Structure 1
Amino acid sequence: MINDKDILNMEIINDINIIGMFLAKRDLNELSCDELHDKYGIKKADISLLLGNSITNTIEVVQKTFKDGIVDKIMVAGGIGHSTSYLINNVRKNNKYQDINTTDKAEADIINEILVNVYGISENDIIIENQSTNCGDNAYKTFEMLRELNIEAQSIILIQDPTMQLRSDASFRKVWRDENKVKLINYAPFVPKVGIFNNQIKFENTNIEGIWEVDRYLSLIMGEIPRLKDDEYGYGPKGKYFIEHVEIPEEIIEAYSRIEPILKKYLDMRKIV
């Protein structure tokens, strides 16, 4: 919860929500076989790929894609990175996961144990990549692993922390750019939205297990736009070239410029090194 007076302003809140919605990329209105057929002409996707993150709700979403027959297999990617400690904390706080061993484990291994032991999904239906440490690494290592396993996926549903969904898509488009036959389908598990309640900023999303603290969320979105920019400082082709070009609409640039001076302390938490 945050009660900074400068942020308790509906114009600032609206700008935060505009940016949050932009980052939480969704190519489907809902996760269903009917939606896949209507949008892509397929009855189901080959793989639901969950990229390691701290939000335990994403595990619920990915297991549902398998149990609802939306995908043939689940793949989980993620080693030990900046979100690992947050994931471990969220798993330990959740009574549903009290028997899950998180000690010295990669994100993918923790999530795999939950999928198998809590949701009853067979290990034969899960592919684990437990070495990657960031978005770009996720894309490279999943590509290499599927190639090593001789798995020719034609359609992959990408599921990620909503603040990282758009950048993950750009990372995968870079690494997989020569794989023209592969449909990369984005589905942010939820679209974050904040509001003012009793003079405090809180999430309107009240049913999301493992959702960030608001201050962490603000630091994530403030650090994300500079990384997405295709300039000498960003991650696009004109900069570090970790990702493919991302078109950032003018309304997003304007919203960010309005909140940047007010939320500078959150940007400082995630400055590009």
Structure 2
Amino acid sequence: MYYPGHIQKAKRQIQNYIKSVDGIVELLDARIPLSSRAYEAERLFQNKQRIVVLNKSDLADPAITSMWKRHFSEQGSGVVEASLRSTDARHFIIKEIVPLLKSRFYEKRFMVVGMPNVGKSTFINRLKGKKSLAVGNRPGITRGVQWINVSESIAVLDTPGILYSELRSQQVTTKLLAVGSLPYEKFDPLDAFERVLALVVERYGKAPLEDYLGEKFSDEEEFVEKFCRRRNYLAKLGALDTTRGAHTFLREVAAGNAGRFSFEDPKSFYSSDSLETE
């Protein structure tokens, strides 16, 4: 699996600039808030005030998002839920972020951090008002640190997306696949499909997926076969193109087409998951 070599450099850049900002705005995927945090926040951000933005909340389970908002608020962070792909970036900063930031000076400065695919690059693009940044699903696109002046009194520091240097937890890997934060082409397609489907069934049962599929299914194999037949995904000699079916399923779950799912909640995460990072 490919992980860019700039991870440690990105962390050093954040530490070098942290004294220049009033606070940290941390973009997380609302469906997997802690699995989409590829760094030890407390150590990296020191004692800076933090605002957590639960992005892609329109794709998440609203009841679980409320649990996460309460969780981060109890930890002392400001919390905002958002769907930044359909939000005016400047308006969002002025109305939602700036009122939560405390500063000794007239100007307010904050740093934006987040993993690739949590929506950070798209948000920064909108903030800059021009398409000068490369935006996509490949990790590590934003390479350097850049200041963006939102107004005479608001400055935003963009930082490179930080990835896991190594993923040791299969649970976390599966969640990242489910929200599209890992390149599924790097995995065995049917294995990735089965893992994500099992994760949805574990948390929500079969009913949402049967509604999505349009018929009932008994197991993963029957699901992918019925899915491919309904989409007319055929390979040579009329065989089912299950690889194409698996990839389509993964994309559509990540896009929210199969339902509004959240793949972790505070209670279950701390009782069963382990984030091991370097």
With the length of structure 2 as denominator, give the TM-score of the two structures. 0.44
With the length of structure 1 as denominator, give the TM-score of the two structures. 0.44
